[in-house]
Amino acid sequence: MDALHGFKDVQSLSFQRPIIRRLILGSYWVVILFAIPFWWRLTSIERIALPSNRVHAQLEKQPVFPVNVQLDGSSFHGRASLLASELNELLAKSTRTSTRWNNLDIHVTLDQNAARSVYTVAVGNGTVVRHPRHLILSQDDASSATKIADVLTGLLAPEASSRVQRVVQYSKRYRLAFTLLNEDVTSDQLIHNWDIHHISPVLSRLSVLHDFLIESQVQFHAPLAFEPVQIVSENSTLYGLTPEDLTVFVNSAEWTLSSSVSEDPVLHFLLFVPSSSRRPLHILDTQGSPTQHAVFLLPQWGGIYILNHLEHVGTRTHLTAVDLSLVFSAFVNQLSALLGVSDLPHGVKSDDPSILSDWQVDAVLRYRALENIVETQQTLHSIVKLVDQIKNMPVDETVRGDVQNALTALEKAYQSTAGLPSTILHWSREALSSASHAFFNPGMLALLYFPAEHKYAVYTPLFASIAVPLVVALGRELHAWRREHRTTAGKLVYHIQS
């Protein structure tokens, strides 16, 4: 009859036997169940544990820099030991109250064979610092412990000036971009060349702190973006820059000041030659009266020198080293100010003013090392905090490696505080660069945030259409199996009863 109607009995088909059907259904479920761990593994974010305990322990630590100052016993005529103990007390007090230098531990001794980076103090004519790390005090300055302590504090722990803002952030490398700007060469004269060699003595002194790359250029058309004020008096006309003008002096839209080949921070030094129709160009005070200044500094950016006086005037001028000596001494001053080198304390001279003294360089070294250490501690702390706070931020092996390197370098910096300041700086720099490297790891980009609604909206159309038949088939199969089970059980009961 089945054959007559063209239908087969469903039960008689080999693939419709219950056991085969259940196997097929089961295999689907087995695949899904086995896939779950893989899915879990592939969609979870790799977050390796960071050494957060070590980082928190680091935050408590403060490096201490021991500094040994040795008094020359012979020149203090017997009162040296008394002076030393007084000085120790005074210096300890002044460093304790300083916010910047409370990690400095100054010891004044009479001991001849102290460590090699020792600073020596003797009495002579006039207060002078001498290479390397000698201080000669005048009779007047050496008269009391307070005066000596003042000089020593000024040299070893110079107070941050109010202009701490102008100091650039520490970097291993800086590019110094020297630019000679002719405002308008068409007017009468052109400065086409200049010799920039004056800056090397200072750079070599600072080479323990930074590496410098120097680039220079001459521009022939450098218009100002504003009109300087014209001031006419009885016998002369001059042009003035108001304080507001100074802040907008650099015409960044039209002057191309440095190439952007590397990521090193750039310090700019501009020598601006006003066109002859706008000379002399002076800086005005707020009352609008001209001052003698022609040099100014933009914090963290660089320095500007306005060249008003040209000695020998010709149509084509080459500025020689002699012409530029004043300009470059100003640039050197600005450079050291931008790099955070403190001036010698008032009343203290240097036997060679053209270079920086060891006292100054050491103070910067210590300060930069301290700054790097604090910065490293804060960066490491931020990493740990952010990883805790942002749950979908991945953390991989390289990040942990960098964090560990930073911690190791910090330890080494602490251990080397008694040694040369340059060694501490080296390790603090290593620590900071590792910590920054960890923070800026490109792999640490937090995955984008999706609200739960978005997830349902995306996944439901995909998975619901697969899940419904699978679950329904499972349910039916179970149902069928249970009924079957019941009927066979019922039959069994019936048999026993009969």
Partner 1 sequence: MHWLQHLSRHCLLLLACLSALTLAIPQEERVSNFFGRHTGTSGHTNNWAVLVCASRYWFNYRHMANALGMYRTVKRLGIPDSNIILMLADDTACNARNQFPGSVYAKAGRHLDLYGDNIEVDYRGYEVTVENFIRLLTGRVDPSVPRSKRLLTDDRSNIFVYMTGHGGNEFLKFQDNEEISAFDIADAFEQMWQKKRYNEILFMIDTCQANTMYSQFYSPNILATGSSEIGENSYSHENDNDIGVSVIDSYTHFVLEFMEGINKTSQVSMQDLFSSYDPVKIRSHPGVRSDLFQRPLESALITDFFGGVSQAEIFPVIEDADTTTQHIIRVSSPDHVVPPDPVSPQAHNGQDFDKANATAVMPQKDAVALDVRWRDIRKWTSIVIVGFLVGWVSLVR
Instruction: Pick out residues in 342-371 that bind partner 1 (CB under 8 A).
Output: none
Contacts of 282 (CB under 8 A, 6+ apart): 238, 239, 240, 241, 290, 291, 292, 293, 294, 306, 308
* CA separation for the pair 189, 195 (Å, rounded): 18
Which parts of 458-487 interact with partner 1 (CB under 8 A)? 460, 464, 467-468, 471-472, 474-476, 479
Find where tokens 């991945």 sit. Answer: 394
Query: Cis peptide leading into 228, omega within 30 of 0?
Result: no
* Cα dihedral value 352, 357, 359, 364, nearest 10: 150
Report whether 83 contacts 345 (CB < 8 A): no
Find where tokens 């100010």 sit. Answer: 337
Q: With contacts defined by CB under 8 A, how many residues of the chain interact with partner 1? A: 75
311 lines the binding site for partner 1 (CB under 8 A): no
242 lines the binding site for partner 1 (CB under 8 A): yes
285 lines the binding site for partner 1 (CB under 8 A): yes
Find where tokens 């660089």 sit. Answer: 302
Find where tokens 């300041």 sit. Answer: 421
Q: Which of 12, 97, 169, 497 binds partner 1 (CB under 8 A)?
A: 169
Could you tell me the maximum CA-CA distance found in the chain, to the nearest angstrom?
141
Contact code string over 387-416 relative to partner 1, x by CB under 8 A: --xx--------------------------
Contacts of 149 (CB under 8 A, 6+ apart): 87, 90, 91, 94
55 lines the binding site for partner 1 (CB under 8 A): no
Which parts of 247-276 interact with partner 1 (CB under 8 A)? 247-250, 252-253, 260-263, 265
Least CB distance from residue 472 to partner 1, whole Å?
4
* CA separation for the pair 427, 424 (Å, rounded): 5
Which segment (74-82, 110-118, 195-203, 242-250) binds partner 1 by CB under 8 A? 242-250
Cβ neighbours, 10 Å, residue 238: 18
Q: In what order do the strands lie in the sheet with 281-283?
A: 229-232, 237-241, 281-283
Q: Which of 132, 243, 314, 419 binds partner 1 (CB under 8 A)?
A: 243
* CA separation for the pair 294, 482 (Å, rounded): 100
Which parts of 431-450 interact with partner 1 (CB under 8 A)? 439-442, 444-446, 448-450
Residue 276 or 460 with smaller CB distance to partner 1: 460
Q: Which of 298, 310, 418, 420 binds partner 1 (CB under 8 A)?
A: 298
Least CB distance from residue 22 to partner 1, whole Å?
16
CA-to-CA dists, residue 153 to 69, 102, 249, 339, angstroms:
12, 12, 38, 20
CB-based burial, 68-87: b 16+ in 10 Å, e otherwise: bbbbbbeebeeebeebbebb
Which parts of 58-97 interact with partner 1 (CB under 8 A)? none
99 lines the binding site for partner 1 (CB under 8 A): no
Which of 475, 479, 458, 470 lies closest to 32, judged by CA? 470
Q: Which of 193, 207, 230, 300 binds partner 1 (CB under 8 A)?
A: 300
292 lines the binding site for partner 1 (CB under 8 A): yes
Contacts of 485 (CB under 8 A, 6+ apart): none
Report whether 317 contacts 271 (CB < 8 A): no
Residue 282 or 366 with smaller CB distance to partner 1: 282
Which segment (67-75, 139-147, 207-215, 322-330) binds partner 1 by CB under 8 A? 322-330
421 lines the binding site for partner 1 (CB under 8 A): no
* CA separation for the pair 167, 474 (Å, rounded): 73
295 lines the binding site for partner 1 (CB under 8 A): yes
Residue 221 or 476 with smaller CB distance to partner 1: 476
Least CB distance from residue 123 to partner 1, whole Å?
25
Residue 303 or 421 with smaller CB distance to partner 1: 303
Q: Which of 228, 274, 290, 303 binds partner 1 (CB under 8 A)?
A: 303
Residue 149 or 330 with smaller CB distance to partner 1: 330
Q: Is 236 exposed, middle or buried (0-12, 13-18, 19+ CB in 10 A)?
A: exposed
Least CB distance from residue 444 to partner 1, whole Å?
6
39 lines the binding site for partner 1 (CB under 8 A): no
